[in-house]
Amino acid sequence: MFPPSARDAIHALLHPRSIAVVGATESPGYGARLMSNLTNAGFTGRVVPVNPNRATVFGLPCVPSIADAPGDVDLAAIVIPAPAVPGTLSAAGARGVPAALVISAGFAEVAGEGTALQEMVAGVAAVGGPRVCGPNCLGVANVAAGIWATANVLAPIDDRLRAGGIAVVSQSGATAFGPLLAVSRDRGIGLRYVVSSGNEADLTTADFVDYFVADRAVGAIALVLEGVRDGAAFRRSVESALAADKPVVVLKLGRTPAGAAAALTHTAAMTGQDDVFDAFCRQHGLARVDDWDALLETADGLAKARRPRGRRVAVVSHSGGIGGLLADACEARGLAVPRLAAATESRLATILDGRGAARNPADVTGHYDRESFAEILDLLAGDENADALAVGTAGGPHVVARIAAAAARTTRPVVVCWTGGLEETEALRALRESAVPVTYQPSACARVLSSLAAWAAGRRRLGERPVRSRDGAAWRKLAGAVAASGGDPLPEAVGLALLRDAGVPTVASARLPAADDPRRLLAALHDAGLRYPVALKVDSPDVPHKSEAGGVALGVQSDEGLVAAAARVLAGVRAARPEARIRGLTAAAMAPEGVEVLLGFDHDVQLGPVLMLGLGGVLAEALRARAWRPLPIRAEDADALVDEVPGLGRLLTGARGRPPADRAALRDAILAFAGWAADAAGSVRSAEVNPLVVLPAGQGALAVDCLLIPSA
């Protein structure tokens, strides 16, 4: 028997016609709260309590097991001790229940026996179903349909919670049905679905994102993540959201060691490297936020607003101070607040008649409350130097009506920073129910505008194909070299040759014997065609950082110098690392001076292979000036990486009297390395080119040292 598809199961989970509550009870606890929420919040379908110890629950006839439930059952909501869950799921699958909601805790979040139980849950879901949301979750809600299949005490809706277009997926159940509901009520932000996904033993965040991408009622997706279960699936789901123009906003734990530890103990999530996740968000245009208010406020703004062409913002307010704060907040987010077109400034000056400020940011004084405000809004929203409009003001229904009408007339996004109170007046209610995003602080307004620009840029990048290997034979050669390595790091000369085949320019190099006979050493150098000066390095799988162990001699100028350097290098390594295995020596041509960068890739625990660019050379580890991108990358990512490494852009332009470096050659080397790494990631655990020397403009770049570590 095949399990239901994720999409069919999620549909049954969020649109059930009948729900069997396994563990239903009237005694205080999760089972009672789940029953109460289902029966009191508007669910019009059939609820079947399942409990062998009761005849009725809240007046509904109770059956002893799910096998005894009458009629078809769309959803099994399970609130029983963890050891009994796998058997109950098997019984539900046997009678064709497509979806299960496992609220029960005691699984991988407690490790030990709980991990084994969670594996059993996943196994049942994989073999015949039902597909599982959870375990260790608090349930789900379909707000528009009045379905609250949740055990949280705060779940029942009230008059202030309205249905809207935002779908929430939260691995933290208490966050989903606690502060997020409070923000939704307090800010008038409409929700469509709320999903607490818990440990994600089966259905993952990526599955829910895929479902919401296909749901026309969903305008934006808000995620609360403790970890990413399947990085490849998550990436595919985000890219499908980009293609469908369904913006994704993320609140993720794990920015700090304390947060990462909390995520691990909470739902057994592996949080990964936070800077890598940040890079993933930038790469895909996702808005990453820091708190609950920002999560829903940003999602609401992205769901409502039009998409900008760029990052230029026109600002208008009834106050110079408010407009100045909005302008500051925009520029702090990397948005531009440019001068308006001359025609716009001229007409604005005529309207203001010597009052306020006819510039960007515009101070329109009392005109915000007059009919002239409509023309002012149209002028600024249509200015050729602006891609979006920020409006900082408050007022009565007529002010809101003019803003909403202007937003409807323009193709550019209009975002309001409401300067009145949060108490919902007639005007604020009308604004919240309009198609205009509303925020309450300059920083929040700028965050929405910046997120809109990032999302639009992410969508534009979809048309660019990811970079892959330029030469398929290069990574096939790698597979042979890895097989011959016995699991040890590859010899440097082999690594450089592989990169050269992949299109990364490298210095000439050769492997030399660690021989006592100087003639063998010199013959190997001359047979390889290398000319002095050369660098001489130890070749040892146990000494990845050779200079620290005395394993490097630079600028060797002659045969006599080579023999002496070889003896010195070997003696130094043997003294510093007596246990190290020495395979031989590597000789390489000396590279000219230039800007030294570090280029590498590694594997993130969540997102898989990631590319890294940083300042290189002997200070690379101390400086740790780096930027990341999950692989594969697109061509635009290479330029973005260079700009994100602190100080690198300045060095490339020619710092302290040095000539400008060959940025184009660095870009080409990054792309060649990234394409090779995307294909090599299955064979290589990590790779590091340090340094890659970027030569003066027009002279290229050269990889000088290469460390390739095979996968285990």
The per-residue pLDDT for range 2-37, each reduced to its tens digit, is: 789 999 999 999 999 999 999 999 999 999 999 999
The whole-number pLDDT of residue 157 equals 56
Residue 75 resides in a domain: yes
Among residues 443, 461, 479, which one ends one of the domains? 461
Per-residue pLDDT band for 420 (boundaries 50, 70, 90) equals very high
What average pLDDT score do residues 61-82 get? Answer: 97
Residues of the chain above pLDDT 90, percent:
78
3-state secondary structure of 493: helix
* DSSP codes of every residue in 107-135: SGGG-THHHHHHHHHHHHHHHT--EEE-S
* pLDDT over 90 at 640, yes or no: yes
Among residues 571, 590, 609, which one ends one of the domains? 590
Enter the pTM of the model: 0.91
Asked if 86 and 219 sit in the same domain, the reply is yes
The whole-number pLDDT of residue 683 equals 87
* pLDDT over 70 at 677, yes or no: yes
Residue 606 resides in a domain: yes
What average pLDDT score do residues 590-618 get? Answer: 90
The whole-number pLDDT of residue 271 equals 42
Q: Which residues pair with 603 in a beta bridge?
A: 609
Q: Tell me which DSSP letter residue 548 carries.
A: G
Containing domain of residue 675, as a range?
A: 595-710
Per-residue pLDDT band for 264 (boundaries 50, 70, 90) equals very low
What average pLDDT score do residues 393-413 get? Answer: 97
Asked if 447 and 347 sit in the same domain, the reply is yes
- Give 308's Cβ-side CA count (13 Å radius): 29
The whole-number pLDDT of residue 144 equals 92
Render pLDDT for 103-162 as a digit per residue (tens, 0 to 9): 999 999 998 899 999 999 999 999 988 999 999 999 999 999 999 999 987 655 566 688
Peptide bond into 659 cis (omega under 30): no
* DSSP codes of every residue in 214-264: H-TT--EEEEEES--S-HHHHHHHHHHHHHHT--EEEEES-SSHHHHHHHH
Asked if 266 and 331 sit in the same domain, the reply is no
More confident residue, 270 or 712: 712
What average pLDDT score do residues 173-179 get? Answer: 94
For 133, 134, 168, 350, the CA distances from 197, given in Å and listed in that order, are 6, 5, 10, 57
- Record the tokens describing residue 547, joined without a space: 């200079």
What average pLDDT score do residues 183-206 get? Answer: 96
What average pLDDT score do residues 231-243 get? Answer: 96
What average pLDDT score do residues 628-632 get? Answer: 94
Among residues 461, 494, 519, which one ends one of the domains? 461
Render pLDDT for 463-477 as a digit per residue (tens, 0 to 9): 888 888 766 676 677
Question: The domain spanning residue 626 has which CATH number?
Answer: 3.30.470.20
Asked if 450 and 556 sit in the same domain, the reply is no
* pLDDT over 70 at 219, yes or no: yes
Let me know how many helices (H) and strands (E) the chain has, helices first.
25, 29
Asked if 529 and 640 sit in the same domain, the reply is no
Per-residue pLDDT band for 266 (boundaries 50, 70, 90) equals very low
CA 334 from centre of chain: 19
- Min mean pLDDT across 44-58, 259-273, 296-310 is at 259-273
Asked if 147 and 271 sit in the same domain, the reply is yes
At CB < 8 A and 24+ separation, what contacts does 476-479 make?
Answer: 477/501, 478/680, 478/683, 478/684, 478/708, 479/683
Residue 503 resides in a domain: no
The whole-number pLDDT of residue 617 equals 74
Sign of CA dihedral 209, 213, 216, 219: positive
H-helix or E-strand spanning residue 77? strand 75-78
The whole-number pLDDT of residue 257 equals 60
What average pLDDT score do residues 637-643 get? Answer: 94
Asked if 586 and 606 sit in the same domain, the reply is no
Residue 498 resides in a domain: no
Question: The domain spanning residue 551 has which CATH number?
Answer: 3.30.1490.20
Asked if 547 and 651 sit in the same domain, the reply is no
Per-residue pLDDT band for 590 (boundaries 50, 70, 90) equals very high
* pLDDT over 50 at 270, yes or no: no
* pLDDT over 70 at 618, yes or no: no
The whole-number pLDDT of residue 485 equals 80
Render pLDDT for 368-394 as a digit per residue (tens, 0 to 9): 999 999 999 999 999 999 999 999 999
For 13, 648, 674, 710, the CA distances from 17, given in Å and listed in that order, are 10, 59, 50, 53
Pairing of strands 287-289, 220-225: unpaired
Distance CA 602, CA 574 (A): 30
* pLDDT over 50 at 267, yes or no: no
Per-residue pLDDT band for 364 (boundaries 50, 70, 90) equals very high
The whole-number pLDDT of residue 483 equals 78
Asked if 291 and 331 sit in the same domain, the reply is no
What average pLDDT score do residues 338-350 get? Answer: 97
Asked if 218 and 130 sit in the same domain, the reply is yes
Residue 500 resides in a domain: no
Residue 484 resides in a domain: no
Render pLDDT for 534-566 as a digit per residue (tens, 0 to 9): 999 999 999 988 888 899 999 999 999 999 999
The whole-number pLDDT of residue 256 equals 61
Asked if 259 and 323 sit in the same domain, the reply is no
Per-residue pLDDT band for 658 (boundaries 50, 70, 90) equals confident
Cα angle, residue 310 at apex, residues 306 and 315 outer, rounded to 5°: 75
Q: What is the mean pLDDT of the chain?
A: 92
Query: Do the beta carbons of residue 252 and residue 227 sit within 8 Å?
Result: no
Instruction: Give Rg (Cα) of the chain.
Output: 31
What average pLDDT score do residues 185-197 get? Answer: 95
For the chain, the first-to-last Cα distance in angstroms comes to 36
Residue 476 resides in a domain: no
Residue 69 resides in a domain: yes
The whole-number pLDDT of residue 577 equals 92
Domain count, the chain: 4
Per-residue pLDDT band for 303 (boundaries 50, 70, 90) equals very high
Question: The domain spanning residue 416 has which CATH number?
Answer: 3.40.50.261
Asked if 674 and 563 sit in the same domain, the reply is no
